[in-house]
């Protein structure tokens, strides 16, 4: 890779064997041309953020080196979601086979109609911060500050490490 950027991807699932969905997504992300896996967090279980009449979520965070522009990376992630049976509904925070989010892309702050980086809500979500801290404890989140400081202000809210 010529000039790779370190990016962090959030992985989440609560349908169709979530742990297997995460495992398959990890392999698919690592197979994207121009992407190399750097680190992968433990897998965590957490109660759903939105409607409570759905199964718990399984989440993880993956660090990658990539030479893809951020929007191209997003498109590749959306294709993986579709291949793994993701159905996009109007309902926000509903159950899903797979949710892949670009959490951080280098030191950039991006505000496009399809992509906001750092990911909106990252600083308040235990299921993102705890796995992210696990693989990047020295990380400075662009526009938000040190991951350790963000984590100190974020209760676990039922988050449980699975492996």
Q: Which residues contact 69 (CB under 8 A, 6 or more apart)?
A: none
Asked if 11 and 61 count as a contact pair (C-beta separation under 8 A), the reply is: yes
| CA-wise closest residue to 59 among 139, 113, 5, 132 | 132
CA-angle at 78, arms to 7 and 43, nearest 5°: 60
Verify whether residue 125 is a known catalytic residue.
no
Answer yes or no: are the C-beta atoms of 74 and 104 closer than 8 Å. no
101 catalytic residue (yes or no):
yes
Q: Let me know: does 89 contact 71? Beta carbons within 8 Å.
A: no
Q: Is 72 a known active-site residue?
A: no
- Given the residues 99, 125, 153, 161, select the one marked as catalytic: 99
- Of 26, 86, 125, 161, which is the active-site residue? 86
Q: Decide if 51 contacts 94 (C-beta within 8 A).
A: yes
Q: Say which of 31, 96, 156, 161 is annotated catalytic.
A: 96
Q: How many residues does the chain have?
A: 163
Structure tokens at 156: 């676990």
Q: List active site positions.
A: 86, 96, 99, 101
């Amino acid at each position: 890779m010529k000039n790779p950027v370190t990016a962090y991807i959030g992985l989440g699932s609560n349908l169709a064997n979530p742990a297997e969905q995460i495992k398959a997504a990890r392999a698919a992300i690592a197979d994207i041309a121009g992407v190399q896996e750097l680190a992968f967090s433990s897998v965590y279980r957490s109660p759903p953020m939105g409607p409570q009449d759905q199964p718990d979520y399984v989440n993880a965070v993956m660090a990658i080196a990539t030479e893809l522009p951020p929007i191209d990376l997003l498109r590749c992630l959306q294709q993986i979601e579709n291949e793994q049976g993701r159905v996009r509904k109007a309902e926000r925070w509903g159950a899903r086979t797979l949710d892949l989010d670009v959490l951080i892309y280098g030191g950039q702050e991006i505000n496009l109609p399809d992509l906001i980086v750092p990911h909106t809500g990252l600083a308040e979500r235990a299921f993102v911060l705890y796995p992210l801290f696990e693989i990047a404890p020295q990380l400075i989140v662009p526009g938000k500050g040190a991951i350790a400081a963000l984590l100190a202000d974020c209760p676990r809210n039922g988050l449980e490490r699975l492996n």
